[in-house]
Protein backbone atom coordinates (compact mmCIF):
# COMPACT_ATOMS: atom_id res chain seq x y z
CA UNK A 1 0.00 0.00 0.00
CA UNK A 2 1.78 3.07 -1.27
CA UNK A 3 1.32 6.24 0.77
CA UNK A 4 2.08 9.62 -0.76
CA UNK A 5 2.72 12.65 1.41
CA UNK A 6 1.80 16.31 1.02
CA UNK A 7 0.10 15.76 -2.31
CA UNK A 8 -2.22 17.94 -4.41
CA UNK A 9 -5.79 16.66 -4.65
CA UNK A 10 -6.50 18.63 -7.82
CA UNK A 11 -6.54 15.55 -10.08
CA UNK A 12 -8.78 13.74 -7.62
CA UNK A 13 -11.79 16.07 -7.47
CA UNK A 14 -13.93 17.07 -10.47
CA UNK A 15 -14.19 20.68 -9.28
CA UNK A 16 -10.42 20.79 -9.84
CA UNK A 17 -9.79 22.45 -6.47
CA UNK A 18 -6.10 22.67 -5.69
CA UNK A 19 -5.81 21.65 -2.04
CA UNK A 20 -3.29 19.29 -0.49
CA UNK A 21 -3.67 16.13 1.54
CA UNK A 22 -1.18 15.25 4.26
CA UNK A 23 -1.35 11.63 3.05
CA UNK A 24 -2.98 9.96 0.05
CA UNK A 25 -3.37 6.26 -0.56
CA UNK A 26 -5.58 3.89 -2.50
CA UNK A 27 -6.79 0.40 -1.69
CA UNK A 28 -7.28 -2.38 -4.22
CA UNK A 29 -8.20 -4.98 -1.57
CA UNK A 30 -10.51 -4.19 1.32
CA UNK A 31 -8.21 -6.02 3.78
CA UNK A 32 -5.73 -3.17 3.39
CA UNK A 33 -8.09 -1.05 5.45
CA UNK A 34 -7.63 -3.36 8.43
CA UNK A 35 -4.13 -1.97 9.02
CA UNK A 36 -4.91 1.62 8.31
CA UNK A 37 -6.18 2.62 11.76
CA UNK A 38 -3.28 0.79 13.38
CA UNK A 39 -0.72 2.53 11.19
CA UNK A 40 -2.34 5.96 11.49
CA UNK A 41 -4.24 5.91 14.79
CA UNK A 42 -4.39 9.68 15.17
CA UNK A 43 -5.06 10.74 11.61
CA UNK A 44 -8.42 11.86 10.25
CA UNK A 45 -9.58 9.67 7.37
CA UNK A 46 -11.47 10.69 4.23
CA UNK A 47 -12.92 8.15 1.78
CA UNK A 48 -12.75 9.25 -1.83
CA UNK A 49 -14.10 7.73 -5.03
CA UNK A 50 -13.69 9.95 -8.07
CA UNK A 51 -14.25 13.18 -6.16
CA UNK A 52 -17.29 14.07 -8.27
CA UNK A 53 -19.51 15.08 -5.36
CA UNK A 54 -17.12 16.92 -3.06
CA UNK A 55 -15.95 20.50 -2.56
CA UNK A 56 -12.69 20.93 -0.67
CA UNK A 57 -12.46 24.17 1.31
CA UNK A 58 -8.98 23.65 2.78
CA UNK A 59 -6.01 21.31 2.78
CA UNK A 60 -6.94 17.94 4.28
CA UNK A 61 -4.95 17.29 7.43
CA UNK A 62 -5.20 13.52 7.44
CA UNK A 63 -5.25 10.51 5.14
CA UNK A 64 -7.33 10.33 1.96
CA UNK A 65 -8.21 6.77 0.92
CA UNK A 66 -9.18 6.22 -2.70
CA UNK A 67 -11.24 3.21 -3.73
CA UNK A 68 -9.55 1.14 -6.44
CA UNK A 69 -11.08 -2.25 -5.63
CA UNK A 70 -12.08 -3.86 -8.94
CA UNK A 71 -14.17 -6.78 -10.14
CA UNK A 72 -17.66 -7.66 -11.34
CA UNK A 73 -19.19 -11.05 -10.65
CA UNK A 74 -22.46 -12.54 -11.82
CA UNK A 75 -23.74 -14.27 -8.69
CA UNK A 76 -26.99 -15.67 -10.06
CA UNK A 77 -28.53 -15.88 -13.50
CA UNK A 78 -32.13 -16.88 -14.18
CA UNK A 79 -34.63 -16.00 -16.92
CA UNK A 80 -36.26 -13.46 -14.60
CA UNK A 81 -33.25 -11.74 -13.06
CA UNK A 82 -29.47 -11.54 -12.73
CA UNK A 83 -27.64 -10.69 -9.54
CA UNK A 84 -24.35 -8.85 -9.87
CA UNK A 85 -21.70 -8.16 -7.25
CA UNK A 86 -19.73 -5.07 -8.17
CA UNK A 87 -16.55 -4.01 -6.42
CA UNK A 88 -16.68 -0.47 -5.04
CA UNK A 89 -13.79 0.84 -7.12
CA UNK A 90 -15.39 0.07 -10.49
CA UNK A 91 -16.21 3.16 -12.56
CA UNK A 92 -20.02 3.43 -12.40
CA UNK A 93 -20.64 4.22 -16.06
CA UNK A 94 -18.63 1.14 -17.14
CA UNK A 95 -21.02 -1.00 -15.09
CA UNK A 96 -24.01 0.68 -16.77
CA UNK A 97 -22.52 0.13 -20.24
CA UNK A 98 -21.84 -3.53 -19.50
CA UNK A 99 -25.39 -4.14 -18.28
CA UNK A 100 -26.89 -2.42 -21.34
CA UNK A 101 -24.67 -4.48 -23.69
CA UNK A 102 -26.17 -7.58 -22.11
CA UNK A 103 -29.68 -6.16 -22.51
CA UNK A 104 -30.23 -6.06 -18.76
CA UNK A 105 -32.58 -3.39 -17.45
CA UNK A 106 -32.28 -1.51 -14.17
CA UNK A 107 -29.50 1.05 -14.39
CA UNK A 108 -29.70 2.34 -17.99
CA UNK A 109 -31.23 5.64 -16.76
CA UNK A 110 -28.17 6.16 -14.54
CA UNK A 111 -25.73 6.34 -17.47
CA UNK A 112 -22.89 8.88 -17.39
CA UNK A 113 -23.15 9.65 -13.68
CA UNK A 114 -19.49 10.11 -12.73
CA UNK A 115 -18.02 8.28 -9.76
CA UNK A 116 -17.33 4.84 -8.38
CA UNK A 117 -19.87 2.06 -7.93
CA UNK A 118 -19.10 1.98 -4.19
CA UNK A 119 -20.14 5.61 -3.81
CA UNK A 120 -23.46 5.17 -5.66
CA UNK A 121 -25.40 4.22 -2.48
CA UNK A 122 -23.97 7.11 -0.44
CA UNK A 123 -26.32 9.68 -1.93
CA UNK A 124 -28.62 7.15 -3.62
CA UNK A 125 -27.66 8.37 -7.09
CA UNK A 126 -30.61 9.16 -9.29
CA UNK A 127 -31.49 10.45 -12.73
CA UNK A 128 -34.23 10.28 -15.35
CA UNK A 129 -36.73 8.44 -13.19
CA UNK A 130 -34.48 5.88 -11.51
CA UNK A 131 -32.43 5.70 -8.33
CA UNK A 132 -29.89 3.09 -7.27
CA UNK A 133 -32.25 2.09 -4.44
CA UNK A 134 -34.62 0.64 -7.09
CA UNK A 135 -32.12 -2.11 -7.97
CA UNK A 136 -29.76 -2.39 -5.01
CA UNK A 137 -30.12 -5.56 -2.95
CA UNK A 138 -27.38 -4.81 -0.44
CA UNK A 139 -23.96 -3.33 0.03
CA UNK A 140 -20.96 -4.52 1.97
CA UNK A 141 -18.91 -2.16 4.11
CA UNK A 142 -15.89 -2.22 6.36
CA UNK A 143 -16.46 -0.39 9.65
CA UNK A 144 -13.33 1.57 10.48
CA UNK A 145 -14.38 2.19 14.06
CA UNK A 146 -14.30 -1.48 15.06
CA UNK A 147 -12.63 -3.29 12.15
CA UNK A 148 -15.75 -5.36 11.39
CA UNK A 149 -17.34 -6.24 8.07
CA UNK A 150 -21.03 -5.54 7.70
CA UNK A 151 -23.75 -6.16 5.10
CA UNK A 152 -26.44 -3.50 4.76
CA UNK A 153 -29.73 -4.57 3.19
CA UNK A 154 -31.54 -2.10 0.97
CA UNK A 155 -33.81 -1.19 3.88
CA UNK A 156 -30.91 -0.74 6.28
CA UNK A 157 -29.34 1.79 3.92
CA UNK A 158 -32.28 4.13 4.76
CA UNK A 159 -32.41 5.56 1.27
CA UNK A 160 -34.12 8.85 0.53
CA UNK A 161 -33.85 11.50 -2.17
CA UNK A 162 -30.06 12.02 -2.51
CA UNK A 163 -29.75 10.53 0.95
CA UNK A 164 -28.77 7.39 2.88
CA UNK A 165 -27.46 6.28 6.24
CA UNK A 166 -23.92 6.67 4.90
CA UNK A 167 -24.41 10.42 4.46
CA UNK A 168 -25.30 11.07 8.11
CA UNK A 169 -22.54 13.02 9.92
CA UNK A 170 -21.92 10.21 12.44
CA UNK A 171 -21.42 7.64 9.65
CA UNK A 172 -19.27 9.63 7.27
CA UNK A 173 -15.87 8.02 6.78
CA UNK A 174 -16.94 5.20 9.06
CA UNK A 175 -18.41 2.57 6.71
CA UNK A 176 -16.22 2.06 3.66
CA UNK A 177 -18.43 0.50 0.95
CA UNK A 178 -16.34 -2.03 -0.91
CA UNK A 179 -19.00 -4.00 -2.79
CA UNK A 180 -22.59 -3.53 -3.97
CA UNK A 181 -25.13 -6.14 -5.08
CA UNK A 182 -27.65 -5.30 -7.80
CA UNK A 183 -30.67 -7.06 -9.28
CA UNK A 184 -30.99 -6.57 -13.04
CA UNK A 185 -33.75 -7.78 -15.36
CA UNK A 186 -32.97 -9.57 -18.68
CA UNK A 187 -34.86 -7.84 -21.49
CA UNK A 188 -36.79 -5.87 -18.82
CA UNK A 189 -39.09 -2.97 -19.59
CA UNK A 190 -37.15 0.27 -19.19
CA UNK A 191 -38.40 3.28 -17.24
CA UNK A 192 -39.34 5.97 -19.78
CA UNK A 193 -41.70 8.30 -17.88
CA UNK A 194 -39.30 11.21 -17.32
CA UNK A 195 -40.42 14.23 -19.41
CA UNK A 196 -37.07 14.82 -21.14
CA UNK A 197 -36.96 11.14 -22.18
CA UNK A 198 -40.51 11.26 -23.58
CA UNK A 199 -39.57 14.34 -25.57
CA UNK A 200 -36.45 12.64 -26.95
CA UNK A 201 -38.41 9.56 -28.07
CA UNK A 202 -41.13 11.67 -29.73
CA UNK A 203 -38.54 13.75 -31.59
CA UNK A 204 -36.67 10.63 -32.70
CA UNK A 205 -39.84 8.68 -33.63
CA UNK A 206 -39.13 5.85 -31.21
CA UNK A 207 -42.45 4.22 -30.22
CA UNK A 208 -41.28 1.42 -27.97
CA UNK A 209 -37.89 2.32 -26.53
CA UNK A 210 -35.48 -0.52 -25.83
CA UNK A 211 -33.02 -0.59 -22.92
CA UNK A 212 -30.31 0.64 -25.31
CA UNK A 213 -32.62 3.43 -26.57
CA UNK A 214 -33.06 4.70 -23.01
CA UNK A 215 -29.30 4.55 -22.42
CA UNK A 216 -28.65 6.47 -25.67
CA UNK A 217 -31.31 9.06 -24.79
CA UNK A 218 -29.85 9.67 -21.32
CA UNK A 219 -26.32 9.98 -22.74
CA UNK A 220 -27.57 12.42 -25.39
CA UNK A 221 -29.56 14.60 -22.98
CA UNK A 222 -26.80 14.72 -20.38
CA UNK A 223 -24.13 15.63 -22.95
CA UNK A 224 -26.33 18.44 -24.28
CA UNK A 225 -26.66 20.28 -20.98
CA UNK A 226 -24.25 19.13 -18.29
CA UNK A 227 -20.68 20.44 -18.38
CA UNK A 228 -17.96 17.80 -18.74
CA UNK A 229 -15.66 18.03 -15.69
CA UNK A 230 -12.70 17.25 -17.98
CA UNK A 231 -13.37 20.63 -19.62
CA UNK A 232 -14.79 22.70 -16.79
CA UNK A 233 -14.68 21.92 -13.08
CA UNK A 234 -18.01 21.01 -11.47
CA UNK A 235 -19.72 18.43 -9.27
CA UNK A 236 -23.10 18.14 -11.00
CA UNK A 237 -26.10 19.62 -9.20
CA UNK A 238 -24.77 21.74 -6.37
CA UNK A 239 -28.10 21.89 -4.49
CA UNK A 240 -30.95 19.46 -3.89
CA UNK A 241 -34.37 20.21 -5.32
CA UNK A 242 -36.52 21.49 -2.43
CA UNK A 243 -39.70 19.65 -1.51
CA UNK A 244 -42.63 21.79 -0.25
CA UNK A 245 -46.13 21.15 1.12
CA UNK A 246 -49.36 22.04 -0.71
CA UNK A 247 -49.75 25.39 1.09
CA UNK A 248 -46.29 26.61 0.13
CA UNK A 249 -46.72 25.23 -3.37
CA UNK A 250 -49.98 27.16 -3.92
CA UNK A 251 -48.38 30.39 -2.76
CA UNK A 252 -45.39 29.88 -5.08
CA UNK A 253 -47.36 28.87 -8.18
CA UNK A 254 -49.74 31.81 -7.88
CA UNK A 255 -46.78 34.19 -7.58
CA UNK A 256 -44.85 32.41 -10.38
CA UNK A 257 -47.32 30.71 -12.76
CA UNK A 258 -44.51 29.57 -15.10
CA UNK A 259 -42.62 27.76 -12.29
CA UNK A 260 -41.65 24.17 -13.08
CA UNK A 261 -42.65 21.51 -10.50
CA UNK A 262 -43.27 17.79 -9.96
CA UNK A 263 -46.17 16.58 -7.89
CA UNK A 264 -45.02 13.84 -5.50
CA UNK A 265 -48.31 13.50 -3.58
CA UNK A 266 -51.31 15.69 -2.69
CA UNK A 267 -49.28 17.43 -0.03
CA UNK A 268 -45.80 17.26 -1.47
CA UNK A 269 -44.24 18.99 -4.49
CA UNK A 270 -40.66 19.03 -5.72
CA UNK A 271 -39.53 22.38 -7.11
CA UNK A 272 -36.51 22.36 -9.45
CA UNK A 273 -33.81 24.44 -7.79
CA UNK A 274 -32.49 25.06 -11.33
CA UNK A 275 -35.69 26.93 -12.15
CA UNK A 276 -35.56 29.00 -8.95
CA UNK A 277 -31.91 29.96 -9.49
CA UNK A 278 -32.41 30.61 -13.21
CA UNK A 279 -35.53 32.70 -12.63
CA UNK A 280 -33.68 34.69 -9.97
CA UNK A 281 -31.21 35.73 -12.68
CA UNK A 282 -28.12 33.75 -11.66
CA UNK A 283 -27.65 31.64 -14.79
CA UNK A 284 -24.29 32.42 -16.41
CA UNK A 285 -23.25 34.63 -13.45
CA UNK A 286 -19.50 34.72 -12.83
CA UNK A 287 -17.43 36.01 -9.95
CA UNK A 288 -13.73 35.55 -10.64
CA UNK A 289 -13.35 31.90 -11.63
CA UNK A 290 -16.46 30.73 -9.75
CA UNK A 291 -19.70 30.70 -11.70
CA UNK A 292 -23.18 29.40 -12.40
CA UNK A 293 -23.23 27.29 -15.56
CA UNK A 294 -24.81 29.00 -18.56
CA UNK A 295 -26.89 25.97 -19.60
CA UNK A 296 -27.81 24.48 -16.21
CA UNK A 297 -28.33 26.92 -13.34
CA UNK A 298 -28.04 24.16 -10.72
CA UNK A 299 -24.42 23.48 -11.60
CA UNK A 300 -21.71 25.69 -10.10
CA UNK A 301 -18.47 25.71 -12.04
CA UNK A 302 -14.78 26.41 -11.62
CA UNK A 303 -13.44 28.21 -14.68
CA UNK A 304 -9.87 27.40 -13.64
CA UNK A 305 -8.41 28.88 -10.50
CA UNK A 306 -11.38 29.21 -8.17
CA UNK A 307 -10.76 28.02 -4.64
CA UNK A 308 -13.24 25.86 -2.77
CA UNK A 309 -14.01 28.91 -0.65
CA UNK A 310 -14.81 30.98 -3.78
CA UNK A 311 -17.34 28.35 -4.88
CA UNK A 312 -18.74 28.04 -1.37
CA UNK A 313 -19.11 31.83 -1.04
CA UNK A 314 -21.04 31.94 -4.31
CA UNK A 315 -23.27 29.06 -3.16
CA UNK A 316 -24.06 30.99 0.04
CA UNK A 317 -25.04 34.09 -1.94
CA UNK A 318 -27.42 31.96 -3.99
CA UNK A 319 -28.89 30.35 -0.88
CA UNK A 320 -29.48 33.79 0.68
CA UNK A 321 -31.04 35.18 -2.49
CA UNK A 322 -33.37 32.19 -2.99
CA UNK A 323 -34.45 32.47 0.64
CA UNK A 324 -35.22 36.14 0.23
CA UNK A 325 -37.04 35.80 -3.11
CA UNK A 326 -39.05 32.60 -2.56
CA UNK A 327 -38.82 31.87 1.15
CA UNK A 328 -37.12 28.52 0.40
CA UNK A 329 -33.95 27.18 1.99
CA UNK A 330 -31.73 25.45 -0.56
CA UNK A 331 -29.66 22.58 0.76
CA UNK A 332 -26.26 21.76 -0.69
CA UNK A 333 -26.09 18.34 -2.33
CA UNK A 334 -22.31 18.39 -2.77
CA UNK A 335 -20.34 17.19 0.25
CA UNK A 336 -18.38 20.06 1.79
CA UNK A 337 -14.98 18.96 3.09
CA UNK A 338 -13.39 21.33 5.56
CA UNK A 339 -14.34 24.66 7.15
CA UNK A 340 -15.23 27.98 5.55
Active site residues: 162, 237, 333
Report the DSSP beta bridge partners of residue 182.
84, 136
Cβ proximity to ligand FAD, 252 vs 306, nearer residue? 306
The yes or no reply on residue 234 touching ligand FAD (CB under 6 A) is yes
The yes or no reply on residue 48 touching ligand FAD (CB under 6 A) is yes
Q: Annotate 44-56 with b (16+ C-beta within 10 A) or e (fewer).
A: ebbbbbbbbbbbb
Residue 58 exposed, middle or buried by CB count within 10 Å (0-12, 13-18, 19+): middle
Q: How far is the CB of 298 from ligand EPU (least distance, A)?
A: 4
User: What's the rounded Cα separation, in Å, for the pair 338 and 153?
Assistant: 31
Which segment (23-31, 147-155, 271-279, 305-313) binds ligand EPU by CB under 6 A? Answer: 271-279
The yes or no reply on residue 333 touching ligand EPU (CB under 6 A) is yes
The yes or no reply on residue 122 touching ligand EPU (CB under 6 A) is no
The yes or no reply on residue 159 touching ligand FAD (CB under 6 A) is no
The yes or no reply on residue 236 touching ligand FAD (CB under 6 A) is yes
Which segment (150-158, 168-176, 206-214, 242-250) binds ligand FAD by CB under 6 A? Answer: 168-176
Member of 100, 240, 285, 306 binding ligand EPU (CB under 6 A): 240
Residue-wise DSSP of 287-332:
ETTEEE-SS-TTEEEE-SS--HHHHHHHHHHHHHHHHHHHS----B
Member of 95, 104, 122, 306 binding ligand FAD (CB under 6 A): 122
85 with 179: CB under 8 angstroms? yes
The yes or no reply on residue 177 touching ligand FAD (CB under 6 A) is yes
Strand order in the sheet with 262-265: 243-244, 268-270, 262-265
Which residues would be at the binding site for ligand EPU (CB under 6 A)? 127-128, 196, 236-237, 240-241, 260, 272, 274-275, 278, 283, 296-298, 333
Amino acid sequence: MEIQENISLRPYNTFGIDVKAKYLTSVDRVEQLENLKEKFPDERILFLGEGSNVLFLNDFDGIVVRNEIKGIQVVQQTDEYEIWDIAGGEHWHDVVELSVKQNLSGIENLALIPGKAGTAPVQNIGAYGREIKDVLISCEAFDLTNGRYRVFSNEECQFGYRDSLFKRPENKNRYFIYRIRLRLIPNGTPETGYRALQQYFTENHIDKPSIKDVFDAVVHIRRSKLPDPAEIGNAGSFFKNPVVDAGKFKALISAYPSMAYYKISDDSYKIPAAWLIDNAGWKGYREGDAGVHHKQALVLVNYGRATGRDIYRLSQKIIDDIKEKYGLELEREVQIIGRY
